[in-house]
Structure 1
Amino acid sequence: MILTVTMNPSVDIFYPIDGFELDDVNRVEMVRKTAGGKGLNVARVVAQMEEEVLATGVLGGTIGDYIIQELTKCNIQNNFLKINQESRNCIAVLHDGMQTEILEAGPTLSYAEGAAFLEKFANLLTSVTIVIISGSLPKGLPNNFYQKMVEISREKNIPVVVDSAGEPLRQVLLHQVKPFAIKPNTAELSHMLGMKVDADIDSLKRAVNHELLTGIEWIVVSMGSEGAFVKHADNYYRVTIPQIDVVNPVGSGDATVAGLAVALKHDQTVETLLKTAMTTGMLNTMEAGTGYINFTKFKQLFDTVKVEIID
């Protein structure tokens, strides 16, 4: 079973509004609400790939109840730490070809709530084979919280994929116990390593060989429409993808992580693993919903992905 962790989930609310007006009344005819957060996007795609998945994290209030209802509708098993505070809403207004986002901060967790979640997390590991930690930390938790989760997992020999950014990710990488895989983009790598990283192969090689990344089995650098650059052990790979009609790119990184996790779970070859991850990422961009894929199109798209080993 794959375990996805979302520490600050939300209800994502999408308002499509033609001719959005500031300081005026804007009426919405159609509203789309989903259980949101990067880890929940991962969980949805894993479930759509017909794989067993368990979602965990921290939830509270009526918003938390709604998230659980939505996950249950999608046949996603879940086991969250329940708190007395309300979970958050995140609003996206889609207008005039643009997207304006209003993101609530969410609850502030206490030390005791953080400790309670780590205990729950350790107990859940008895039934899982791989862990995906995605997204941001809620307020109140220390920046090394994900590092603690990686350490707990690796003590039980369970591989961990971390898809986060900023100081929580840097704390993970500073520790001697490394995650099994990470999936940054070039902008995140540049910020994290303090060096400019672009699509040039030499630039990418320098980045993935930075001392901060030493000991990570899989480094998947996502590059949008240009595919990905990957370091696995001592080998480098360039993954190219076809041009596709993009409907909604939001969540494609999460879908990529889902494909990566499923392939890792099944111990696939390098080529199959990378093609699977890129295919699920592309499938997400072809759907209006965030963290949704049409799995019936998987094989057709999978065959168009090219993996090349680089000297």
Structure 2
Amino acid sequence: MFEATHQGNSGEDLSDPGAFGVRGGNVRDVDLERANGAGRIVLTGSANSTRISEVYQKFPIGLMFPRIGDEMVTEAVIVNSSGGIAGGDRLEIEVVALNNASVAVTTQAAEKVYRALDRPARIGTKLKVCSRAKLAWLPQETIVFNQARIRRQTEIDLCSGAEVIALEWMVLGRAARGEEVVSGYISDSWRIKKDGHLIWVDGFRVSDEVFAQLHRKALLSNWKAVATLIYFGPGLDTRLRILREIATSLDCSCAATIVGAIIIVRVAAAASSDLRRGLRSLLEQFSRELGPGPFGVPKMWSC
């Protein structure tokens, strides 16, 4: 995370191990102060509103519940006050939506994963959605910089009768600034259970020697911004047809299929701005088809 010429507030060279109290060897991520944050939200609801039942937050994770309209809670916002993620950081988020809860959970801004020294950052997300609850997990993008190391795992526990949209999207460098990601480590995995039974596992993994091959058509081709969106709910065949129709209207690449009891949508673009426009359009169109619920574009995406 620190360049060789980076200077601290007192003028010390932060590339010098002595600046961190480490002598006689190279600085490691474990030698530096690292974040160990967590957030947990439990929501319940009635026919008219969603209420906060439990909140836990551990620095640098903060949780906000902006009032939108007349309902008590319609959107929850996760804030990482550390300003980014570095090697060795650990962040854990858990969201539980109980009967009749209806809420969208998003992030305050794009998350940035900076260069690591020798250890990956670990990000864990656990979502549990009980019967008759509606949950939209719609964080903003994760931007991975060159030589970053990240291990992210998303676990979702679904109950029959629930309705869920869950999204994760990742950007390999900022195209507008000409950034290239040529080395590092990325492990991005999903595990989804329905009524306690594992129904889908997925993983994307790339390490130092593989980055040079990502441009191949069988891998990412010219895409540097990729997203996975899953949908669980009623009428899967009808929803799949609608999503495939929406896919043809987008300016980025998009495809959808059913695996077991969920719909899986992949979206990819050459730049994060293109992917954002595509995802906004997809959510706007799909939420109109779904009817009442938290599945539109989060307000925080426009702030």
Q: TM-score scaled to structure 2, two decimals?
A: 0.30
Whose helix fraction is larger, Structure 1's or Structure 2's? 1
Whose strand fraction is larger, Structure 1's or Structure 2's? 2
| Higher-Rg member (1/2) | 2
**Greater relative CO, 1 or 2 (CA 8 Å, sep 6+):** 1
Q: TM-score scaled to structure 1, two decimals?
A: 0.30
